[in-house]
Amino acid sequence: MDANMFMQHFINALGLGSLYGLIAIGYTMVYGILRLINFAHGDIFMLGAYFVFFATVQYKLPWALGAFIAVSGTIVCGLLVDRVAYRPLRGAPRISALISAIGVSFFIENLAVVVFSGMPRPVVQPPLLMEAFSLGGIRLVPLAIMVPAISFIIVAALLWMIYRTKSGLAMRSISFDIETTRLMGVSVDRIIAMAFAIGSGLAAIAGIMWALRYPRVEPFMGIMPGFKAFIAAVFGGIGSVPGAMLGGLSLGFVEIMSVAFFPRLSGYRDAFAFLLLVVILLVKPTGLMGEKLEDKI
Amino acid sequence: MERKQPMLEIKNLTVWYGSINAVKGIDVSINRGEIVTLIGANGAGKSSTIRAIAGLVKGCGGSIAFTGKDGRVTQLLGKQPEAMVRQGIAISPEGRRILPHLTTEENLLLGAYTLSDKAQISENMEYAYSLFPRLKERRRQKGGTLSGGEQQMLAVGRSLMSSPELLMLDEPSLGLAPILVDEVFEIIKTINTEGRTILLVEQNALAALKIAAKAYVLEVGSITIQGTGGELLANPKVKEAYLGG
């Protein structure tokens, strides 16, 4: 493989990995606070992709406006899931919330089949993002650069929020000791809602960019990316936001590079992600940047 | 005029944990500016009382009325802890409950969560540092790396960060070396003379009674003896049961 070819794969991996990372952040934030694996998160991602499809392809709105509507709509859905499916179970054993999460996931998927129809639908990519250009011998489209760039900017902003603002302080505090945090005057439900809103917003942004990269939407499109992002979150150390991004990038690189270097194994592409999960759980169960885990589901 | 109304008036408070009756209808009243102490053995219901005021227990009955500086009366029973803090009550919980992965400064800032005035927050922080200069030296250090005494100072300092009118200190001497116990009680007295009302829950009855204006003895969920700190120090029953004869 020559250097140019490698660079193409590298940028491709960077794009895919940062999308996994964006989705993984939603898993990791909710897990960090509630010790809940939000299985519906992949479906929230799917909703983001559908909303942007409807806004821009169906209703022909400009992409920027469509993206804004999609992100807002997805955040509302994420908050609704928390309110309806998780908040009533806050005091219940954790396994109840987990089962509720699986139920919500199936519900959203099948509701999407009913409402959006099960047929995959093509997304029309904005031509501006698809005009190929050459950069030092590598053929690129603007989208390939845009995806990781937007992702990194968002993650930087999120890290600033978590480490430099009062709400971020409350989030970091809740993840360790809910009761003491409440005693300091923090409304825990509000902070949890905030975590769901941020996670859903990032999933929507990932969904939009996913729909641009792989230009079609279908009701079950969230399942595989959702699983992989979950693996990315575990690999990076669940509960850690930088870890989720790192895990996402690692997964993107493993997936793209394994196929690039061993084209014959391309059929096993998805299996690599799960292999990574098995390996990390055996070697370092807390993940790359994870802190000590107490009891975990 | 509002002096007549106690700052915190607890009437017929009961606390249930399932079928266990931890507090069996107690009356406690705290006047503005006082140090009031609840003493008693482990499991007597001291912490349950505090937790009921804070809004951390579900199964409680009775009334907990708080009268603010402006004379407005608020019923705290059944409210969230957030409501308590916003009313002007802060707590230094039993076992300190420092967040070990946050720095000293971040722990203090968390205590000021309900405030939005930056100048007020930094003023409160300076006040906490002036009471506990050690905390200032350790301000970039993670809470988990502090010594027990420093963590206790941090818990008290953190509870001062929300500019509270009433401070509830739950077992501030627990697990401290005797010399540190004296230091902590000295500081509690200072905080009080600088204008804050204090509800002190203690197993160290001697130290608590010495600084308390009013004291209640709790035994298996009921108040058995009450009076001024001096009266209880002289009470033979208290002497025998809590002051080592």
Distance from CA of B233 to the nearest CA of A (A): 32
Distance from CA of A228 to the nearest CA of B (A): 29
Distance from CA of A141 to the nearest CA of B (A): 43
Contact A185 B99 (CB under 8 A): no
Where are any strands of DSSP class E within A141-243?
216-217
Convert the pLDDT of each residue in B69-111 to its tens digit: 888 999 999 899 999 999 999 999 999 999 999 999 999 999 9
Choose among A173, A182, A185: nearest Cβ to B99: A173
What φ, ψ does residue B35 adopt, rounded to 5°?
A: -105, 120
Confidence (pLDDT) at A296? 36
Residues in chain A with CB shorter than 8 Å from the CB of B81 are 182-183, 185
* CA–CA separation, B135 and A20 (whole Å): 42
Query: Could you tell me which chain A residue has the CA closest to the CA of B97?
Result: A180
State whether B121 and B147 are in the same domain. yes
* CA–CA separation, A201 and A76 (whole Å): 9
The single-letter code of the amino acid at B138 is R
> In sequence order, which residues have a C-beta less than 8 Å from that of residue B220 and are 6 or more positions away?
B24, B43, B44, B45
Give the 3-state secondary structure of residue A42. helix
> How sure is the predictor about B242, in pLDDT bands with cuts at 50, 70 and 90?
confident
Contact A184 B110 (CB under 8 A): yes
State whether B73 and B174 are in the same domain. yes
State whether B68 and B181 are in the same domain. yes
State whether B7 and B113 are in the same domain. no
* CA–CA separation, A279 and B104 (whole Å): 37
Residues in chain B with CB shorter than 8 Å from the CB of A184 are 85, 110-111, 113-114, 158, 162
Chain A positions touching chain B (beta carbons under 8 Å): 166, 169-170, 172-173, 176-177, 179-187, 291
What is the number of domains present in chain B?
A: 2
Cα B154 to Cα A258, B7, B8, B16, B90, distances in angstroms: 52, 26, 25, 31, 13
Residues in chain A with CB shorter than 8 Å from the CB of B89 are none
State whether B111 and B148 are in the same domain. yes
Q: In what order do the strands lie in the sheet with B35-40?
A: B89-92, B166-170, B197-202, B35-40, B214-219, B222-228
Residues in chain B with CB shorter than 8 Å from the CB of A176 are 99-102
State whether B106 and B205 are in the same domain. no
State whether B129 and B230 are in the same domain. no
Contact A183 B56 (CB under 8 A): yes
The structure tokens listed for B162 are 């929300």
Place of tokens 């739950």: B170
What φ, ψ does residue B215 adopt, rounded to 5°?
A: -140, 150
State whether B59 and B106 are in the same domain. no
Chain B positions touching chain A (beta carbons under 8 Å): 54, 56, 80-82, 84-86, 91, 93, 97, 99-102, 106, 109-111, 113-114, 158, 162
Confidence (pLDDT) at B123? 97
Confidence (pLDDT) at A135? 83
Nearest residue to A148 (alpha-carbon basis) of A6, A11, A4: A11
Give the 3-state secondary structure of residue B74. strand
Confidence (pLDDT) at A2? 85
Residue A157: Cβ-neighbour burial (10 angstroms; 0-12, 13-18, 19+): exposed
Residue B231: CATH number of its domain: 3.40.50.300
Q: Give Cα B207 distance to the centre of its chain.
A: 15
* CA–CA separation, A220 and B228 (whole Å): 71
Contact A182 B109 (CB under 8 A): no
* CA–CA separation, A52 and A74 (whole Å): 10
Mean pLDDT throughout B226-234? Answer: 94
**Domain assignment of residue B75, given as a range:** 2-88+165-242
The last residue of a domain, from among B145, B163, B181: B163
> In sequence order, which residues have a C-beta less than 8 Å from that of residue B78 and are 6 or more positions away?
B55, B60
Best of A164, A180, A186, A294 to mutate (most B CBs within 10 Å, chain B): A180
Residues in chain A with CB shorter than 8 Å from the CB of B91 are 183
The last residue of a domain, from among B132, B147, B163: B163
Pairing of strands A216-217, B35-40: unpaired
The structure tokens listed for B23 are 């507090």
3-state secondary structure B2-60: HHHCCCEEEEEEEEEECCEEEEEEEEEEECCCCEEEEEECCCCCHHHHHHHHHCCCCCE
Give the 3-state secondary structure of residue B201. strand
Nearest residue to A40 (alpha-carbon basis) of A92, A99, A89, A113: A99
Q: Write out the H or E segment, with its range, that includes residue A162.
A: helix A142-164
Helices (H) and strands (E) in chain B — how many of each? 10, 10
The last residue of a domain, from among B116, B131, B163: B163
Nearest residue to B167 (alpha-carbon basis) of B138, B131, B205: B131
Confidence (pLDDT) at A293? 47
Convert the pLDDT of each residue in B146-197 to its tens digit: 999 999 999 999 999 999 999 999 999 988 899 989 999 999 999 999 999 9
Give the percent of chain B with pLDDT over 70: 98
Place of tokens 């992989």: A228
Contact B113 A291 (CB under 8 A): no
Residue B195: Cβ-neighbour burial (10 angstroms; 0-12, 13-18, 19+): exposed
Q: What ranges do the domains of chain A cover?
A: 24-220
Which residue ranges of chain A lie beneath pLDDT 70?
291-297
B142: DSSP letter: B
Whether pLDDT at B2 is above 90: no
Contact B102 A172 (CB under 8 A): yes
